[in-house]
């Protein structure tokens, strides 16, 4: 390498790039996160080039040694990333020239940065999907543990945030467990599409060299090479899909976060957050704030924004690679970091949160939550059409509201004033615990 600062295309160009062009073109500060994948994919690429006798074996071996050395340097924080070399791929290649000399020039045979970057990126997203799957599992475990301890804890179930019918805390938490299960299934499903290797597509049309794409695909943990080379270098739907999964999971977390925020208010009083998961106020000594839940609720802004960002970048890009696509990684890295942290924070809050069963039960009793039970009783015992039963029950509730009492504080004769055929038996369904227990 004659001039260590020159670009790989400098012979084609008369002038060096302007400073701000260099700045807008560089992605090294973001894509250095791909160094592991980049080095792994380069090693496998070289192994294939050696096996197919496309490059001299002795140069190939030097390249592999040099790449392993670079990996150690980056691992140990001893690697100097340079903006002038634009991205992780060229930073590593430049360093390889410094370490092993001109043999490094064989590395990029039958490869382009276009298939290189998307191979690295796909490998990274695949690993990130495994990680998210694991992190969701921890939350699921803590939700189910809390649920299993609260099978008999009665609370109001809400619609329109108005008390609707009595439920149990276990039912409530299980709903979130199911949301998390679906988020997990989306991660697993997206992994199927992450299992195809773009490597070997080169710039866009493949290569005249006799490469072995099956070999590189399987050595890098993919099932098979992608069919279309032009699709391989220009598809980013694996990334937008990943961003959607993060956004959807974040949305689920934000709903639970919102409930926690409500539950820990003195007005609800359903739950108390551990001190480890609350902050105080700098002025109001009585306060305990659910900051983590509020931030989980707020982080959906970032997660949704990242999804829209990449969808917008990709919209209407002609085939095949366009530099626009360099803007694909920041969103994915950030969404991964964000959702991972939100999942962990939610797990911590759920694990340590305490619930006040008597307050929740009282809330269920005071909100006429068993009104539907009365209507069902009328249907079952008096053969009333449900619509009529609904009217009768409405009148009973109105009476309780007027008398400012609970439904089971009404006397039998109060109820008989409205529907004479009602018997004592109706009081059996007014109890919130019995009402919940009757649920299939």
Is 117 or 260 the residue whose CB approaches ligand ARG more closely?
117
Active site residue 160: yes
Q: Which residues pair with 224 in a beta bridge?
A: 196
Long-range contacts, 273-276 (Cβ 8 Å, 24+): 273/349, 273/352, 273/353, 274/349, 274/352, 274/353, 274/354, 276/348, 276/352
Q: Which residues pair with 225 in a beta bridge?
A: 197
Is 88 or 215 the residue whose CB approaches ligand ARG more closely?
88
Is 32 or 391 the residue whose CB approaches ligand ARG more closely?
32
Residue 35 touches ligand ARG, criterion: CB under 6 A: no
| Residues 65-94, interacting with ligand ARG (CB under 6 A) | 87
Min CB(61)–ligand ARG separation in Å: 27
Binding-site member from 27, 129, 135, 229 for ligand ARG (CB under 6 A): 27
Min CB(217)–ligand ARG separation in Å: 20
The one segment of 157-165, 264-272, 322-330, 332-340 that binds ligand ARG by CB under 6 A: 322-330
Is 320 or 378 the residue whose CB approaches ligand ARG more closely?
320
Residue 326 touches ligand ARG, criterion: CB under 6 A: yes
Min CB(121)–ligand ARG separation in Å: 8
* C-beta separation of 395 from 372 below 8 A: no
Binding-site member from 85, 244, 263, 321 for ligand ARG (CB under 6 A): 321
Min CB(39)–ligand ARG separation in Å: 15
How many residues of this chain interact with ligand ARG, rule: CB under 6 A? 10
Binding-site member from 325, 363, 375, 426 for ligand ARG (CB under 6 A): 325
* C-beta separation of 198 from 232 below 8 A: yes
Is 70 or 273 the residue whose CB approaches ligand ARG more closely?
70
Distance between CA atoms of residues 191 and 238, nearest Å: 9
Is 180 or 239 the residue whose CB approaches ligand ARG more closely?
239
Of the residues 148, 185, 281, 438, only one is catalytic, namely 281
| Residues 198-217, interacting with ligand ARG (CB under 6 A) | none
Is 86 or 183 the residue whose CB approaches ligand ARG more closely?
86
Min CB(162)–ligand ARG separation in Å: 51
Of the residues 18, 160, 411, 413, only one is catalytic, namely 160
Min CB(233)–ligand ARG separation in Å: 9
| Residues 100-139, interacting with ligand ARG (CB under 6 A) | 113-114, 117
Tell me which DSSP letter residue 53 carries. Answer: T
Min CB(163)–ligand ARG separation in Å: 53
Return the closest-CA partner of residue 437 out of 204, 55, 171: 171
Tell me which DSSP letter residue 33 carries. Answer: G
Supply angle C-alpha 411, 416, 420, rounded to 5.
160
Return the closest-CA partner of residue 187 out of 385, 38, 336: 336
Which residue's entry shows tokens 């409500």? 262
* C-beta separation of 300 from 251 below 8 A: yes
Question: How many beta carbons lie within 10 A of that of residue 190, not counting itself?
Answer: 19
As to burial, measured by CB atoms within 10 angstroms (0-12 exposed, 13-18 middle, 19+ buried), residue 140 is buried
Q: Residue 376 to residues 167, 380, 418: CA-CA distances in angstroms?
A: 17, 6, 16
Min CB(32)–ligand ARG separation in Å: 11
Return the closest-CA partner of residue 295 out of 352, 254, 347, 334: 254
Return the closest-CA partner of residue 118 out of 191, 28, 227, 31: 31
Tell me if residue 271 falls in helix, strand or coil. Answer: strand
Site string for ligand ARG, 366-405 (x = CB under 6 A): ----------------------------------------
Is 165 or 326 the residue whose CB approaches ligand ARG more closely?
326
> How is residue 272 written in tokens?
């108390």
> How is residue 310 written in tokens?
């990449």
Which are the catalytic amino acids?
160, 281
Instruction: Enumerate binding residues for ligand ARG (CB under 6 A).
Output: 27, 31, 87, 113-114, 117, 321, 323, 325-326
């Amino acid at each position: 390498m004659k001039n260590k600062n020159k670009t790989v295309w400098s012979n084609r160009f008369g002038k060096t790039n302007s400073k701000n062009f260099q700045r807008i073109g560089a992605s090294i500060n973001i894509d250095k996160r791909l160094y592991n994948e980049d080095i792994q994919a380069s090693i496998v690429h070289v192994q294939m080039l050696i096996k197919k006798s496309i490059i001299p074996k002795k140069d190939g071996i030097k390249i592999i040694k040099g790449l392993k050395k670079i990996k150690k340097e980056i691992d140990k924080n001893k690697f100097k990333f340079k903006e002038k070399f634009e991205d992780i791929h060229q930073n590593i290649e430049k360093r390889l020239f410094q370490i092993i000399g001109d043999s490094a020039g064989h590395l990029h045979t039958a490869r382009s940065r276009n298939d290189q970057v998307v191979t690295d990126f796909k490998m990274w997203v695949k690993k990130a999907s495994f990680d998210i799957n694991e992190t969701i599992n921890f939350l699921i475990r803590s939700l189910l543990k809390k649920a299993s301890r609260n099978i008999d804890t009665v609370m109001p179930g809400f619609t329109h945030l108005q008390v609707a019918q009595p439920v149990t805390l276990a039912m409530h938490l299980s709903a979130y467990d199911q949301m998390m299960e679906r988020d997990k299934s989306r991660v697993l499903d997206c992994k199927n599409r992450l299992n195809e290797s773009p490597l070997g597509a080169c710039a866009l049309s493949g290569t005249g060299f006799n490469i072995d794409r099956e070999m590189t695909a399987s050595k890098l943990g993919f099932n098979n090479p992608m069919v279309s080379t032009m699709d391989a270098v220009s598809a980013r739907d694996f990334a937008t899909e990943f961003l959607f999964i993060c956004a959807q999971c974040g949305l689920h977390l934000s709903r639970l976060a919102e409930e926690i925020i409500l539950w820990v208010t003195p007005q609800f009083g359903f739950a108390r957050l551990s001190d480890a998961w609350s902050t105080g106020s700098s002025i109001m000594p009585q306060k305990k704030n659910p900051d983590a839940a509020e931030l989980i609720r707020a982080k959906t802004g970032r997660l949704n924004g990242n999804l829209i960002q990449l969808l917008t970048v990709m919209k209407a890009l002609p085939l095949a690679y366009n530099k626009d696509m360099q803007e694909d990684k920041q969103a994915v890295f950030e969404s991964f970091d964000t959702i991972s942290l939100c999942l962990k924070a939610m797990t911590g809050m759920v694990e340590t949160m305490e619930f006040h069963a008597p307050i929740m039960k009282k809330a269920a009793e005071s909100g006429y939550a068993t009104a539907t039970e009365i209507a069902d009783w009328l249907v079952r015992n008096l053969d009333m059409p449900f619509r009529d039963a609904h009217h009768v029950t409405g009148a009973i509730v109105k009476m309780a509201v007027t008398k400012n009492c609970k439904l089971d504080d009404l006397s039998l004769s109060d109820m008989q004033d409205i529907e004479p055929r009602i018997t004592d038996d109706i009081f059996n369904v007014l109890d919130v615990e019995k009402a919940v227990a009757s649920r299939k």
